[in-house]
Amino acid sequence: MNNKHSEGTHHFILQRITAVINLFLGVYVFNFFIKSIGKSYETVIDILGNNFMWLVITIFSLSMCYHMWIGFNHILDDYVDEVKARKVLGSLNSFVVVIVALATSFSMITIGFF
């Protein structure tokens, strides 16, 4: 993951905390996503804007992104033994996760407020 040797426990605990958050919010958001397929745009916007669903999705996405970031870095640590490749893939992972987190937060906050 990186040069620091002291982050394992920290990541272990945070992975569990985000897992518990995702446990509740994830089921809720997933239910909303799957049920919304086929519904009209107005219905979805209404649910998102009026029921604080946008806030739930933002919190879930941030928690999910952190969970994703730790999980994928863990996999890279385990299976990619070439240092340079691991660093490149790790940076790519960070980039993707930051993009997902920012894009979701931006779209949800925009929908929620405007």
Partner 1 sequence: MTNKNKISPLDRPLSPHLQIYRPSFTMMMSIMHRISGVILYFGSFLLLAWYISILIGPEAYQLLNQLFSFSIIKVALFLFTWIFFHHLLVELDILFGIQEEDLN
| Residue 23 touching partner 1 (CB under 8 A) | yes
Q: Is 18 exposed, middle or buried (0-12, 13-18, 19+ CB in 10 A)?
A: buried
| Residue 66 touching partner 1 (CB under 8 A) | no
| Residue 14 touching partner 1 (CB under 8 A) | no
Question: What is the nearest approach in angstroms of partner 1 to the Cβ of residue 36?
Answer: 8
| Residue 44 touching partner 1 (CB under 8 A) | yes
Could you tell me where the DSSP H helices lie in 1-114? 8-36, 41-50, 53-79, 83-113
Nearer to partner 1, 10 or 45 (CB): 45
